[in-house]
Amino acid sequence: MRTERERFVVIGGVAAGMSAASRAKRNKPEMEVTVLERGKFVSYGSCGLPYFVSDLVKDVQGLVVYDATFFKEKRGIDVLTRHEVTRIDTQRKLVFARNLEKSKEITFGYDKLAICTGASPIQPELPGADLRNVFVIRTAEDGIILKDFIGEAAPSMAVIIGAGLIGLEMAEALRARGLEVAVIKRPGSSILKMFDDDMAELVEEELKRNDVDVVKNAVIQGFEGDSEGRARLVVIEGRSYPADLILLAAGSRPNSALAKQAELGVAPNGTIVVDERMQTSNRDIFAAGDCVGQKHLITGKDVYIPRGTTANKQGRVAGDNASGRDDVFKGVVGTAVSKIFDLTVARAGLSSAEAVGENYNFVTSTVAHPSHGHTYPNPEPEDITIKLVMDRRTGKLLGAQMVGKIGVAKRIDVFATALQGGMTVEEISRLDLSYSPPFAPFWDSILVAANVGLRKLLS
Ligand SMILES: Cc1cc2nc3c(=O)[nH]c(=O)nc-3n(C[C@H](O)[C@H](O)[C@H](O)COP(=O)(O)OP(=O)(O)OC[C@H]3O[C@@H](n4cnc5c(N)ncnc54)[C@H](O)[C@@H]3O)c2cc1C
């Protein structure tokens, strides 16, 4: 029956979806807010999945921020898990969902709708990709399936297809579980293609130090299974790798099928087209998170850099605008950080390859400088390696990459801030950064990198 209260329906209940729902309810408590999520869990950090699989996080509940009961009781938001939306009728403003537990169809009317359906792992169409022990890692359910398999089948050899941040975080997780691990990278670039090759090499050395076999330039032909439907071999031109656990970590693609069905604008790369207000081509429908793209604040171009932190911010903007406020999401500078064994790797802005692709006249400089003051006793003084990509014409920073053991994660945020503020390398070299021996040398590695970069720019 038609209710008089304004209705906001959100499809997808993780980072973007729960941010949108919570924000709208906070702004407009009288609004009826309903979240439809096809999985069993909502409001959890997929980013913690590697630590759940490694068993650092024992229980999947350790990844969950709040559950459906909390949202109902404390925030007044109806969260329906195991409800998959199958269709949107934009004329009648209806959403059709299937209750997956009861195989029942339910219809929800909306005044405002947010599509926060995220992304799905890319599943290469390879022979044997449907074998039983071929896994993906995206949702909490994926994490449970993989962890249960490790516990029950006690696999000893894992092959990870893909050498991006998730693939490498998972390499660490599987090594922690005692498996032998090979990481397979397709031809065309080094591991971690968002980093320059010389920086990625530092990570590759760390992988080798931790007995991870890195196989580059590999064209996978398929997976061979046994009579029980279990994969046993990864077949690469002329070679094969034994595996009793295969993890596909070759990137993700936006879930935009519902948007296409509803005839909303969808870009050629599959992202749902939104403006700065996260509004789709239909004024009552918003979209946010891994199902949409972003504007790159350095190049001004549309990009697809799916991140949990971005999904939360975009969801909040969608929720604001769906509940009558006026908010915008300006864009990203591609900031990322990850722990890979004992190293922290981080980046913001453009890599050299990206700067080439954007036709910048640029110069790079690399320094290695200690993470803290020499007067502070530290059993293992560690250098941070910093590479800057700089615009020769304007003197502005275009990008920064860092690899080190201590103090990398927060230092990259200084560069991210500088990039977002459009600072020149000279301006960065004059920043008033904090100093105390336990945390930094007199000349912080950021300032040293900027000074060295400046000399390179002026030479
Ligand atoms: C292993 C791993 C590590 C990561 N580490 C980091 C990190 O360190 N830092 C970082 O910033 N990001 C990280 N990410 C990325 C981050 O998790 C995502 O960017 C974030 O989860 C995106 O949130 P989202 O809400 O847009 O989409 P999702 O998390 O994909 O959530 C979308 C939800 O929509 C639901 N859904 C889809 N279609 C329907 C439908 N038709 N009906 C109902 N429900 C539907 C899905 O079930 C899903 O639960 C990591 C991701 C993974 C997998």
Report the DSSP beta bridge partners of residue 415: none
pLDDT confidence of residue 378:
67
pLDDT confidence of residue 2:
54
Tell me, using a 6 A CB cutoff, whether residue 340 lines ligand 1: no
The dihedral sign for the CA sequence 263, 268, 270, 274: negative
Q: For the segment 153-168, what is each residue's pLDDT rounded down to a tens digit?
A: 999 999 999 999 999 9
Share of the chain above pLDDT 90, in %: 89
* Ligand 1 atom at minimal distance to the Cα of residue 143: 1
pLDDT confidence of residue 209:
97
Does residue 291 have an active-site annotation? no
pLDDT confidence of residue 189:
72
Phi, psi of 438 (to 5 degrees): -65, -15
Q: For the segment 201-210, what is each residue's pLDDT rounded down to a tens digit?
A: 999 999 999 9
Task: Please tell me the distance between residue 112's alpha carbon and the centre of ligand 1 in angstroms.
Answer: 22
pLDDT confidence of residue 380:
61
Q: For the segment 41-56, what is each residue's pLDDT rounded down to a tens digit?
A: 999 999 999 999 999 9
Cβ neighbours for 123, distance < 8 A, ≥ 6 positions apart: 129, 136, 248
CA-closest candidate to residue 305, choices 328, 333, 281, 345: 333
Phi, psi of 119 (to 5 degrees): -140, 165
Tell me, using a 6 A CB cutoff, whether residue 308 lines ligand 1: yes
β-sheet with 336-340: strand ranges across: 336-340, 343-349, 397-404, 383-391, 362-370
Are the CB atoms for 245 and 174 separated by under 8 Å? yes
pLDDT-derived band at 103 (thresholds 50, 70, 90) equals confident
* Ligand 1 atom at minimal distance to the Cα of residue 307: 19
What's the mean pLDDT when you consider all of the chain? 95
Report the DSSP beta bridge partners of residue 366: 387
pLDDT-derived band at 431 (thresholds 50, 70, 90) equals very high
Probe target for ligand 1 pocket from 84, 170, 290, 292, with the most ligand atoms within 8 Å of CB: 290
Query: Taking residues 237-256, what's their average pLDDT?
Result: 94
Determine which residue's CA is closest to atom 38 belonging to ligand 1: 117
Number of other CB atoms surrounding residue 389 within 10 Å: 26
pLDDT at residue 381 is higher than 80:
no
Tell me, using a 6 A CB cutoff, whether residue 37 lines ligand 1: yes
pLDDT confidence of residue 220:
92
Query: Taking residues 438-442, what's their average pLDDT?
Result: 85
Probe target for ligand 1 pocket from 46, 101, 105, with the most ligand atoms within 8 Å of CB: 46
Query: Taking residues 410-430, what's their average pLDDT?
Result: 97
Which of residues 176 and 435 earns the better pLDDT score?
Answer: 176
Lowest mean pLDDT among 26-30, 128-132, 169-173, 436-440: 436-440
Query: Taking residues 246-267, what's their average pLDDT?
Result: 97
Q: Which one of 6, 27, 40, 47 is the catalytic residue?
A: 47
Share of the chain above pLDDT 70, in %: 98
pLDDT at residue 377 is higher than 80:
no
pLDDT confidence of residue 238:
77
Tell me, using a 6 A CB cutoff, whether residue 42 lines ligand 1: no
pLDDT confidence of residue 408:
95
Are the CB atoms for 158 and 215 separated by under 8 Å? no
Report H helices in 49-125: 49-53, 68-75
Query: Taking residues 95-122, what's their average pLDDT?
Result: 97
* Ligand 1 atom at minimal distance to the Cα of residue 290: 26
The dihedral sign for the CA sequence 225, 188, 252, 313: positive
Q: For the segment 200-243, what is each residue's pLDDT rounded down to a tens digit?
A: 999 999 999 999 999 998 899 999 999 999 999 999 987 899 99
Are the CB atoms for 12 and 120 separated by under 8 Å? no
Task: Please tell me the distance between residue 213's alpha carbon and the centre of ligand 1 in angstroms.
Answer: 28
Cβ neighbours for 293, distance < 8 A, ≥ 6 positions apart: 254, 267, 269, 271, 273, 274, 302, 303, 304
Task: Please tell me the distance between residue 308's alpha carbon and the centre of ligand 1 in angstroms.
Answer: 7
β-sheet with 83-89: strand ranges across: 83-89, 94-99, 104-109
> Residue 246 carries which side chain, given as an amino acid letter?
I
pLDDT confidence of residue 274:
98
